[in-house]
Chains A and B, each alone.
Chain A
Amino acid sequence: DAGVIQSPRHEVTEMGQEVTLRCKPISGHDYLFWYRQTMMRGLELLIYFNNNVPIDDSGMPEDRFSAKMPNASFSTLKIQPSEPRDSAVYFCASSLGGASETQYFGPGTRLLVL
């Protein structure tokens, strides 16, 4: 298996622009997670899905962030409008089962908002 695939790997945008991050989980995995990592705050869970249904979005910073999972093989995280404080590395992870199971992380998307 190719592992979790994320795109783009790097994104530079200007404040106010819309940003869309994409993720393809490992085939057969029923959980998908979106994380954000910064030096100051570490790795934070933003939202996770089980069988394409959002279960917990309490980590989503504010209404500017939204996530969708239209099918088992694709998810998006959208930021609209983007702000400089959104600059971070965004990881997607998937697992076969809940928190007791191994989460497999993608390579991440490095986002810089100018």
Chain B
Amino acid sequence: QKEVEQDPGPLSVPEGAIVSLNCTYSNSAFQYFMWYRQYSRKGPELLMYTYSSGNKEDGRFTAQVDKSSKYISLFIRDSQPSDSATYLCAMSGPGSNTGKLIFGQGTTLQVKP
């Protein structure tokens, strides 16, 4: 079993829809949770960062962490065609290798106009 599980999709939604992307993990030591966005033929770039549990909101994006369930989510409100990309969750924390991020498989999202 992988340390981080993420449904690769693809996920196709109409413009304006609310999108929910999710990851589950097995290592209870993880404390740093990130979402990276990767456009086609580009490198990943950090989108959202959350430390420990709770929610974080940035514009149309909301990241949630539920450590009790080992489950993290990224919500995109009023989705736009420009949101079409692959979204990768990533995590790390004390007790694991301090420099190492563990990435999910990535979920490919297409937002149709």
CB distance from A38 to the nearest CB of B (A): 11
A51 to B112, CA, bound (A): 45
A100 to B97, CA, bound (A): 11
> A-B contact count, CB below 8 Å?
58
Interface size on A, residues (CB 8 A): 23
| A102/B46 in contact, CB under 8 A | yes
A56 to B92, CA, bound (A): 14
In the complex, which residues 37-55 of chain B have their Cβ closer than 8 Å to any Cβ of chain A?
41-46, 49, 51
| B45/A105 in contact, CB under 8 A | yes
CB distance from B51 to the nearest CB of A (A): 8
CB distance from A8 to the nearest CB of B (A): 15
Contacts of A100 in B (CB 8 A): 32, 51, 92
Residue in contact with B100 in the complex, picked from A43, A45, A104, A108, CB distance below 8 Å: A45
Contacts of B100 in A (CB 8 A): 45, 48, 56, 99
| B43/A99 in contact, CB under 8 A | no
Contacts of B44 in A (CB 8 A): 43, 91, 105
| A91/B92 in contact, CB under 8 A | no
- Residues of A participating in the B interface, judged by any CB pair closer than 8 Å: 4, 31, 33, 42-45, 48, 50, 55-56, 91, 93, 98-100, 102-108
